[in-house]
Structure 1
Amino acid sequence: MSEQYKSREERRRLQQKKQKKKQKKKSSFLKKILIAFLFIGIVGMIAGAATLAYYIAGAPPLNENQLKGQLSSKVYDMYGNQIYEIGTEKTTYVKIDDIPDQVKNAFIATEDVRFYEHNGIDLIRFGGAVIANIQEGFGAEGASTITQQLVKLSFLSPEKTIQRKVQEAWLALQVEQKYSKDQILEMYLNRVYYPGNYYGVARAAEAFYGKTLDELSLDEVAMLAGMVKNPHGYNPRENPEAAEKRRNVVLMLMEKHGFISKEEADQAKQKSVTASLVNPTEKSNQYYAFIEQVIEEIREHLDIDPSAAGLKIYSTLDPDAQSYIENLLNGDQLNFRNEHLQAGVALLDTETGEIRAIGGGRNQPIGGFNYAVDTKRQPGSTIKPILDYGPAIEYLKWSTYHQIEDAPYTYSNGTPINNYDNRYKGWMSIRQALADSRNIPALKALQEVGLDRAKEFAEGLGIKLDEISEAYAIGGFKEGVSPLQMAGAFSAFGNNGIYIKPHAVKKVELADGTVIELSPEPVEAMSDYTAFMITDMMKSVVQYGTGTRANVAGLHIAGKTGTTNFTPEEKQKYNVPKGGAKDSWFVGYTPKYTAAVWTGFEKNDEKMHLDRIDQRLAKDIFREVIKHVSKGDRSDFKQPNSVVKLAIEKGTNPAKLASEFTPKDMITYEYFVKGKEPTKVSNKYQQVDKPSDLQVSYDERAQAVTVKWLYGEEFLDDVSFEVRLAINDNNYKVATTTKEMVYTVSNVEPGNVYKFQIIAIREGNRSDPAAALIEIPIMEEHIDEEIEKELKELLPPENNDQTQNESQNSNTKEKEKKQDESGNNNSENNKNKPDSPIENESNTSNIETQQQAPQQSE
């Protein structure tokens, strides 16, 4: 029911009254919201201020010695003994007035262009970093000024946290209040780190260019300024391409901010980054290569300059192993052809990934190239377990017996692929293919697995690949790998498939007592069956394959050889003879240690190739190193429950179990993933009955021995017999193979024993041997004693001797009488006359004649 008003004026007044009530309610609600937000803001400000105050209260006090880099860091070996002190010998401190403006401008343009304008914090740069961190996550982009970088290098822990950033900003403000801009820049330029364990821009100028700061050219100044962001990544000695790009960025920034002209920048960009570099001359000590790795890890993980942070660094170094490797590479124990032939060695603990020693090269100076860590060379066939057979077992569950045909083949694009010996060996197991380093089976394995899965498997072992192609199957890399990377990858095979990134630092204690653990977390890179089966295959490489020279008696070693060749163009350019190689590798491991060895020349030029003797060096170095560190070790790799070992009949494809009749020389023992093992038994070799009723007889007249036997009539059409003969104690030899059931040996010699084995062969199957023997009697040249006894018994007992004499005389007279009558013995008489007993002593019928002789005489 609608309201009734007395007049329009009354209605208007009442409506105005209601509207005012609504406006009052709305205003009251807004006030409450504003009050709430104000309260929250105040509480937030108070809480924020309290938090900031708490963070600031925990900031370390300023220390001028730390700012100037006068607190060195101590390095301890695996046993806790101090072996080195970082930051005590490689700084050339230079005052700000002695630093040329061009050097200062290069660093300011690159690191902090508003350095002379801010009070330690660049709010404009900070705003950009905040946006980036919101979009990409905290720590995605930094806004540190030169002052903040100096503070961070000197005082603070490395974690990228809000607390550290607050403390960094607070200390930067304090530094700016206490020191002038020139003093801050001076301390910073004397603190920056360069590869080779050099500190300060002045020391770097000496080390890289052999110059003082005022002698540097613009391109050299830009290179020194650019290197600070990533010292090893932008090192012109190690990575000239990356270094050139970084130097040009610095030149672009100097031009952009008005420090140099465009013409000056363009001219400097045309200069080679390597042309003016000088070779390091200061000889390194035995720990140099290892300490360089320690510094790199500290800078990478903690973003701290160890030369001035007063750290206690607990490393993984085995000083005995390090000393041995240094002496091995630099001594006369091995045959290094000349001083240009180089080697890099990385030795790890297989179970922990801890670096026990690094052989950075032969006769390397301080700042020289580290061939164990920085080299990037094609791995050759050492990559086959990582890219080919490892993924095949992991993803396809191949056995170690899996058959691949080694026959003429091409890449997918039609390019032929050859084996190292340009030969083909037909069907073989992947064990044999790896042991003999066949290239064609390796490519086929990679193709079966697929490039993507092979790449994924390799990256799980620390081998990062920007790209992959079929040529990678045999080590045809574009980017290359280092011995340290290869050692890390192979150690996972020996560690049940667990990959732990190689590392030289276990933990660090900061100057304030804070301890930071740096050991990487273990990662399951593959199944335990893959690790064990690849390991067992690589044992074959060392036992009878291409790596026998690396074997050590008594040690259980698995490993792989690798060699890389020159291209046809390089062979012609460098006059490389047949068999000359570019790189030679051996990577291997025991349950306790893993070692990767690379050998090659520092550069390729005329006569800068490995001959066949040089190519042995990688295996020789590995053998000597692993023998030295493994004294008394007899441990072996343990077979996991996921693997079964079976007796397989050779030649079966797919694999079949050996039967009870399979000959021993046709059986091989191979490993299978449990659940994927064969169940069918080969019937190629079946039971064959052996011959029966062997009879051996001797024919004296023919001087021959005959052996006869019987066999079932139903098999006679399909059976043949192998007759094996042995005389006396000699070994059996095959005398003949025949379908007859008789065999005769002629010209037998009295006194010998003739032994026979008769083996029935039917459809390739062989029976057990049936055996018999005979001893040939020896013939004597006198009447047998038993015959004489029988003759005596025929004579009268009372005048045995007299009768015998009379008989002999009678026989003599009778013979003389007959000769007188006939004049001679004609043939007819000779035929009828009895034979002499002496000539026929072994014949029974002649014995009877002898018994009649006395009666005739009588």
Structure 2
Amino acid sequence: MSDQFNSRQERRKAQQGKSRSNTHSKPKKKKKAGLFKKILLSILIIGVIGLIAGGVTFAVMVADSPSLDEAKLKTPYSSTVYDKNGKEIAEIGSEKRTYVSIKDIPDSVKNAFLATEDARFYDHHGVDPIRIGGALLANFEGGFGSEGGSTITQQVVKNSLLSHEKTLKRKVQEVWLSFQLERKYSKDEILEMYLNRIYFSPQAYGVGKAAEQFYGVTDLNDLTVEQAATLAGMPQSPNNYNPIKHPEKAEKRRNVVLSLMNKHGFISDAEYNKAKKVAVTKGLVSPKEYAKSTSNKYSAFIEQAVAEVKEKANVTPGTDGLKIYTTIDTDAQDYVDELMDGDSIQYTEKMQAGLTLLDTKTGEIRALGGGRDRKAGDFNYAVDTKRQPGSTIKPILDYGPVIENKKWSTYEQIKDEAYTYSTGDPINNYDRKHRGWISMREALVDSRNVPALKAFQAAGKDNIVKFAGNLGLNINSDDLVEAYAIGGFGNGVSPLQMAGAYSAFGNNGYYNEPHTVTAVEFNDGTKLDLTPESKAAMSDYTAFMITDMLKSAVQRGTGTAAQVNGVTVAGKTGTTNFTEDDIRKHGISRNGARDSWFVGYTPQYTAAVWTGKEGFNSLSVNEQQVAKLLFKKLIAKVDNGSGSFEKPDSVVEATVLKGSNPPVLASSNTPSDKKVTEYFVKGTQPTTVSKKYEEKEDADKPTGLSAEYDEASKSIKLSWSYSGDGDVSFKVKQSVDGGGYSEIQSSSAKEAVIPNAKEGSVYRFQVTAVTEDGESDPASVTLKVNAAEDDESKADDEKKDEDDEKKQDADADDDQDKDKQNNGNSNQPDDQNSGNTDQNNQNPGNTDGRKDDDADDQNKDQNKDKNKNPDQDSNTDDQQTNSNGQSTGTH
């Protein structure tokens, strides 16, 4: 052994030393182990406490859960609709369902809904953790709301027993009641409850009523697989996936359902491939039959209200027993219905109209005109139609953004000239003419396209997208091309959207989303406020200046036919047309239009009116006036004429010299027809006063004028003196033997020599001084040329000619006055480089629509142009296209 010990005692001491040594090296491990145990114990304790606390919280939350009321579970409740004054106007859901027992529902129908809504329905106990996990993953990858995690059982509980507020307590109660429901009822009973509650349309609740309304069948066994899939796809978005209203969207959705049925083993590959080849319209009832089954008073308005409630409150109005408080004014709605279908407007065949009336200050929709001869469930031309807006878009995309961001005044000078888009394609005005330099107000009043494009370009794409977005028009920056400046939209807009956007101009720049519902009350007494929040969309100066220019458009521009006696109206017309190819291919009149708009507002109401026809049917010149007439009649009926648009402190008024560029203030001597009053953003108004029409003192008159005849040279020498200061020139005029005066010299010299004087003739001369202040009165002298003449005969001759001289002087004075008058009437300002002379030599102050200088051309075009609509944005003879090659006159 290596260790040697002399005794047991030494060995023992050595062993004890090792033992002590070991005890010094191991405590660290024990301390680490102890710390881990403490952490684990702490977590365990916290977990137990959390579990207890969670259990207590869960118990508290479910303590006041509603009971499983079989009547509520199996008998859906209808909802009541109220007008703006709280008066009941309709009941939705009542007698609009056909209850079907589960034994009468074929597997193809059940499987279609199970594959779409809850494929593991028969495997879970009310709540499906796998489905919840999948929904969380889908929401993480595709954004919140991409996929729901609720089972069919949870949907029955939520739609039958609970309010739709999104709180933790409601969700806990939903889970609790779902477990309870599964314990009390069988799977088939729960599925039966669900299939009889589903919302398909305002007139169809439950799969039985839906099959009857859309396919005309009362026995669900008569539905094909593809028809069952169509119905199963609708509840997610009943309006968008309505196969009669939107067959393309409905077919895509149906095919998704068929693929899910195939994925979960409900149909084979062969059945799937066969079903998806069938047109979604096969077996549908005719549009006329569908319209008959969905007829309802105020249907356009109520359908929009139902859609809003479903979207904002996540409820099913036809089954949840709601009280829906709307914004409808039934008097206004009754009148709109009369305008749509009565005799007050003479519509022509195939002509359609869409109309939205709302409160300018609140955005509350008072009435909707969904279309002529419209039945419940039909296409809603006030809400669903998407048409190009024509020139009604100019305040939104052109002039509004440039005022907001560049602080242009209503006087801002824009040159209306031959011009092109950035792509090089030409842009034309409706009359193919150009007015030269005009103000922004006149450009909007006369609906000129070239100035609108220039304003669009000056505003900038980003500013335009933001401005439009603030007004409820969401435009993708990548889609925004220059043709949008005059209404060449890709997807179009609806009257509802245009009314909402224009109302902000009349509401000091505040935008209120158009809405039909203010609140919803649930069957448990809770109430949900659905009123949108008012948002500042623009500066008050932008709103006011746009409004004031649009008032001019109604008073003396393209919208005069929309004037209403005693009511302040601001508004804009809009017209779109067909492409050149469409005109040739379909034989469309060149004066015909695709769409005709009028959007206007008063301090109290805003209305947007669209008129047009489907397909390649054009509006005649007379039909294009109907939109303005509809607006005029409606506003005259509902508006009491109270109120005006008040100028905010951010805007100042200034009277400027017409045609000055940059603007200068008109002086007190400026003639009234040479000045104009416009609005400026405070701080940008002109401060320099024009000197053009200031009173000026006449120049000093020349003195000592004398005339001498030199017989040797046969010439007359004139000389004179001048006592004035500064630069001066002298005009010399002569008259011979009583003839008229003619100018013979203009120079700074104080003498003149007239050669070849004729003996025996009488010469009269006038000399005037010319300075920057003007011309002096003339100095005069008379000379009779005789070779040898005594003083007496000369005096006699002079006395003899005295009367003639006075007459000649009077004529000369008249000529002088005319010269001064002509100088004073010059259209070019003396103190500014106005830049008002363009290639057409137009009058720079031409802001009242006067004709171009080329009278011959205008006379030639007179007959051609007399029927042209000054708001038809892309001339049909020279179709304009945007940078994507898209016509501004297409849908």
TM range (shorter): 0.7 to 0.9
**Aligned mate of 1:558, from 563, 570, 573:** 570
Match of 2:636 in 1: 627
Counterpart residue number, 1:815: none
2:339 aligned counterpart, secondary structure: helix
**Letter matched to residue 686 of structure 1:** E
**In 1, distance between residues paired with 2:809 and 2:502?**
60
Letter of the structure 2 residue corresponding to residue 248 of structure 1? N
Partner of 2:620: 611
Q: Deviations over 1:350-394 (max 9, x none)?
A: 101111111111111121111111111111111111111110111
Give the superposition deviation at 1:689.
5.6
Aligned counterpart, 1:306? 317
- Compared CA separation, residues 438 and 711, structure 1 to 2 (3 A): farther
User: TM-score normalised to the size of structure 1?
Assistant: 0.79
Aligned partner of residue 478 in structure 1, secondary structure:
coil
Deviation at 1:118, TM superposition (A): 1.3
Distance of aligned partners of 1:223 and 1:132 in 2 relative to their CA distance in 1, 3 Å threshold? closer
Equivalent runs, 1:60-99 vs 2, <5 Å: 60-99=66-105
**Amino acid paired to 1:681:** V
2:531 pairs with 516, 519, 525, which one? 519
TM-superposed CA distance for 1:620, in Å, is: 0.7
Q: Which residue of 1 aligns with 2:657?
A: 649
Structure 2 residue identity aligned to 1:668: V
The correspondence of residues 83-482 of structure 1 with structure 2, limited to 5 A, is: 83-131=89-137, 141-212=147-218, 213-274=220-281, 277=284, 278-279=286-287, 280-282=290-292, 284-338=295-349, 340-466=350-476, 467-482=479-494
The letter of the residue matching 2:564 is: V
Distance in 1 (alpha carbons) for counterparts of 2:23 and 2:772: 130
The more displaced of 9-18 and 86-95 is: 9-18
- Distance change in 2, residues 1:86/1:38 (3 Å): same
Tell me the matched-pair count: 717
- Deviation of 1:718 after TM superposition, in Å, equals 6.0
Cα separation, 2, equivalents of 1:206 and 1:252: 25
In the alignment, what sits opposite 2:587? 575
d(CA) in 1 for partners of 2:772, 2:119: 102
Q: 2:632 & 2:598 partners in 1: Cα distance?
A: 10
CA distance in 1 between partners of 2:144 and 2:67 (Å)? 26
> What is the rounded CA distance, in whole Å, between the counterparts of 1:366 and 1:135 in structure 2?
39
1:505 and 2:506 are equivalent in the alignment: no
Identity %: 55
Partners of 1:129 and 1:593 in 2: how far apart? 45
Distance 1:206 1:461, change over 3 A: same
Query: What whole-Å deviation, never above 9, does each CA across 1:570-606 have from its counterpart, x for those lacking one?
Result: 22343211211111111111111111111112x214x
Partner amino acid, structure 2, of 1:381 = S
Give the CA RMSD over aligned residues: 3.0
1:132 Cα shift? 5.6
My pick for the range that moved more, 310-319 or 279-288, is 279-288
Residue 532, structure 1, aligned to residue 544, structure 2: yes
Unaligned runs of at least 5 residues, structure 2: 1-9, 701-765, 778-806, 827-891
CA positional deviation for 1:7: 7.1
Tell whether the 8 Å contact from 2:153 to 2:178 is kept in structure 1 after alignment: yes
- Provide the rounded CA distance (Å) in 2 between the counterparts of 1:669 and 1:146: 68
Change (3 A) 1:362 1:135: closer
SS across alignment from 2:680: strand
The answer as to whether partners of 2:699 and 2:771 remain within 8 angstroms in 1 is no
Q: 1:286 to 1:425 in 2, by over 3 A?
A: farther
8 Å contact from structure 2 (residues 299, 375) kept in 1: no
CA distance in 1, matches of 2:452, 2:489: 15
Cα 1:742/1:497, change in 2 over 3 Å: same
CA contact under 8 A between 2:770 and 2:776: conserved in structure 1?
A: no
Shift of 1:435: 1.2
Gaps of 5+ in 1: 693-709, 722-738, 746-756, 767-858
Partner of 1:851: none
Give the C-alpha shift of residue 284 in structure 1. Answer: 3.0
Tell me by how many angstroms 1:567 deviates: 1.6
1:267 Cα offset (Å):
3.5
SS at match of 2:291: coil
Indicate the residue corresponding to 1:724 in structure 2. none
Which has the higher Rg, Structure 1 or Structure 2?
1
Mean Cα displacement is larger for which, 62-71 or 246-255? 62-71
For residue 430 of structure 1, what is the amino acid of its counterpart? M
Q: TM-score, normalised by structure 2?
A: 0.76
- CA deviation after TM superposition for structure 1 residue 720, in Å: 12
Contact 1:691 1:758 in 2 (8 A): no
Listed one character per residue, the Cα deviations across residues 249-273 of structure 1 (whole Å, up to 9, x for unaligned) are: 1121112112223333333333444
Partner of 1:281, secondary structure, is helix
Letter in 2 for 1:419: N
Q: 1:288 to 1:415 in 2, by over 3 A?
A: same
Q: Which region of structure 1 is more displaced relative to structure 2, 62-71 or 504-513?
A: 62-71
- Conserved? CA contact 2:76–2:160, under 8 Å: no
Shift of 1:148: 1.1
Counterparts of 1:421 and 1:96, CA distance in 2: 69
CA contact (8 A) 1:496 1:532 kept: yes
Q: Determine helix, strand or coil for the equivalent of 2:612.
A: strand
The whole-number CA distance in structure 2 between the counterparts of 1:462 and 1:40 is: 50
Query: In 2 relative to 1, CA 141–415 (structure 1 residues): closer, same or farther, beyond 3 Å?
Result: same
Q: C-alpha displacement at 1:341, in angstroms?
A: 1.4
SS of 2:572 mapped into structure 1 = strand
Task: Identify if the C-alpha distance between structure 1 residues 529 and 272 changes in structure 2 by more than 3 Å, giving closer, same or farther.
Answer: farther
Residues 1:658 and 2:666 aligned together: yes
1:654 alignment partner, SS class: coil
* Greater relative contact order, per chain length (Cα 8 Å cut-off, separation 6+): 2
Q: 1:542 corresponds to which residue? A: 554
Residues in 2 aligned to 1:337 and 1:265: alpha-carbon distance in whole angstroms: 47
Equivalent residues of 2:769, 2:776 under 8 A apart: no
Among candidates 821, 837, 850, match of residue 761 of structure 1 = 821
Contact 1:404 1:430 in 2 (8 A): yes
Amino acid across the alignment from 1:94 = V
SS in 2 for 1:194: strand
Instruction: Indicate conservation of the 8 Å contact 1:720/1:760, yes or no.
Output: no
1:409 Cα deviation from its structure 2 partner: 1.6
Q: 1:691 to 1:440 in 2, by over 3 A?
A: same
Task: Quote how far apart the aligned CAs of 1:683 are.
Answer: 2.7
1:719 to partner: Cα distance: 5.9
Q: Partner residue of 1:26?
A: 32
Change (3 A) 1:600 1:53: same
CA 1:443–1:714: 2 relative to 1, 3 Å: closer
- SS in structure 2 opposite 1:763? helix
Change (3 A) 1:462 1:38: same
Counterpart among 729, 742, 759 of residue 810 in structure 2: 742
Aligned residue identity for 2:555: Q
Residues 483 and 119 of structure 1: CA distance in aligned 2, closer, same or farther (over 3 Å): same
Contact 1:237–1:369 under 8 Å retained in 2: no
In the TM superposition, residue 194 of structure 1 has moved relative to its aligned partner by: 2.1
